Every structure is written in C-alpha cells, then in structure tokens.
Amino acid sequence: MHRIEPLASGDKAALYRELEAQLRALLEGEPDLVACAANTSSLIFWSLPELNWAGFYLVEARSGDLVLGPFQGKPACVRIPVGKGVCGAAAARRRTVVVPDVHAFPGHIACDSASNSEVVVPILDGDRLLGVLDLDSPAHARFDDEDARGLESLVGVFVAAIRREAG
C-alpha cells in the first residue's frame, strides 16, 4: 500500500467517505479487536497526510488505564491513566478532543517531541469505553472538526467490526 495523495482543499469529507468504504472492506468478516485495530491504524497512517503517529490505546480491565495497542509510528507511551494527557482527557470526557497545539494543552504527555497537534476519538460500545484512537501530527493545527467527524465515522466502522461474532 502507498500513501494516498491528499485531496484538494474542500475534499476532506470525500477522503473520509473513501476511507470509510476502504475500512469496511478491510475489516469485513474479522471481529478480532487486535487485528481490526492493526489494520485500522495502518490504513489511517498511510492514507492521511501529515501524520507521525496513528494508533490505539485500549482500556485495561484490571487497572482501567489506557494501554498501548496497535499503532503506526515511533515507539509510544505504554500506559496512560484516564484523565491524563489528551488521550486520557478524551477517555474521561467520552468525546473527541482536537488539540491544535499540544504544547499548550495542560498535562500533555509528550511521547514524540515531533508532535505538535493531536486528535483523540473515544471508542465506545454503547456506554462502555473500549479505548481511544489517537492521531498525532508534526504540523500545528493539523486537525479540525471535519477530521473529528471523519475519524468518528471510522471508529464506528471499527466498533461494528469487533462487535460481530466470528462466523
């Protein structure tokens, strides 16, 4: 697979619709959480421009912490308490958090010093928090509300896939 060229300005919604269709096809018939998370993070990392990290932090049942899951990018922080950093804030709030400048975010956890902006989408199965999808960029203000909506739709595809029972 190769990196998809970014679409012209104003075509971001079309890019996310295309990614949603690709993700549905990629996850079709596979309910395994790790396999689905691995392919989801890879598709996002190689398809969206200006990313230096894309991956999952999953809720550990024992501690309730977010623990590193499948990702693409440099090695990352392994464990994040809910409520700490951008990932923990999105998990605690149970809503997407878009941060134009991570250095201005109180309590930001710097796993990669090259990251300057971030978006984190909570992964919810009904009321149950499964984890978060985290994307980082070296560009300031890389993510906006349109990215948030597009990534939320991809998380919806991911949750639907892992909820399927193996046939």
Per residue in 39-82, pLDDT (tens digit) is: 999 999 999 999 999 999 999 999 999 999 999 999 999 999 99
Tens of pLDDT, residues 120-163: 999 999 999 999 999 999 999 999 999 999 999 999 999 999 99
Can you give the pTM of this predicted structure? 0.92
The total number of structural domains that make up the chain = 1
In a domain, 6, yes or no: no
What would the two tokens of residue 132 be? 């978060």
H runs (alpha helix) in the chain: 12-27, 33-47, 85-93, 145-163
HSE of 76, CA atoms in CB hemisphere, 13 A: 23
In a domain, 1, yes or no: no
Instruction: In whole angstroms, give the CA distance from residue 134 to residue 40.
Output: 12
**Residue 128 included in any domain:** yes
List the structure tokens of 17.
Answer: 């619709």
Note the pLDDT of residue 114. Answer: 87
Structural domain including 82 reads: 12-163
Buried b (16+ CB within 10 A) or exposed e, 60-79: eeeeebbbbbbbbbeebbee
Q: In what order do the strands lie in the sheet with 97-99?
A: 79-80, 66-73, 53-59, 128-137, 117-125, 97-99
Q: How confident is the model at residue 10 (pLDDT cuts 50, 70, 90)?
A: low
Residue with tokens 């970014």: 6
d(CA 54, CA 162) in angstroms, rounded, equals 19
Q: What CATH code is carried by the domain that includes residue 34?
A: 3.30.450.40
